[in-house]
Amino acid sequence: MISHNQKEALIQAAAAARQQAYAPYSNYPVGAAILTEDGRIITGCNVENASYGLSMCAERTAVFKMVSEGGQQRIQAVVVCTANGGSPCGACRQVLTEFAGDVPVWLTDAAGNIYETTLYALLPHHFGPEHLTK
């Protein structure tokens, strides 16, 4: 169970990460924050590139940062902060499922509105490691 204080800290962290975004092409800055099973909050922002395919989303930045800086943790919750409350793209949803179960996802906007959903609601027929035969 995610506490009210953890949720608020995640929302603030995602909003702060959004301020770090490099989005000169889309003008759509995104910040993300994930809560790990050991209680850490890891943030990420989108980083665009003139070669659009080389851009990186905020959610994947946070996940890859989590792995590279602290090992393979299970994600307990996700917050995404955009100007209009947009949700993660399909690629980010898939990457998140690699490290999370059906965790809460809060989508926030610049006005402070919060929409609550879950990862499996965003990606109901996800593909994960459990689908691979060994």
* pLDDT (tens digit per residue) in 96-134: 999 999 999 999 999 999 999 999 999 999 988 888 876
Active-site residue, 69 included: no
- According to the model, what pLDDT value does residue 1 have? 87
Q: Which pLDDT belongs to residue 87? A: 97
Confidence (pLDDT) at 134:
66
Give the per-residue pLDDT at 106: 99
Mean pLDDT score of the chain, rounded to an integer? 96
Q: Please indicate whether residue 131 or residue 40 has the higher confidence score (pLDDT).
A: 40
User: What is the dihedral sign for C-alpha 93, 96, 97, 100?
Assistant: negative
Q: What pLDDT, on the 0 to 100 scale, is given for residue 131?
A: 86
Q: State CA 106 to chain mean position distance.
A: 9
Q: Domains of the chain, with CATH numbers?
A: 4-131 (3.40.140.10)
Exactly one of 8, 37, 59, 69 is catalytic; name it: 59
pTM over 0.75: yes
Strands 75-81 and 114-118: unpaired
Sheet holding 114-118, edge to edge: 41-45, 31-36, 75-81, 104-108, 114-118
pLDDT tens column, 48-98: 999 999 999 999 999 999 999 987 889 999 999 999 999 999 999 999 999
Query: H helices then E strands: how many in the chain?
Result: 4, 5
Average pLDDT over residues 34-50: 97
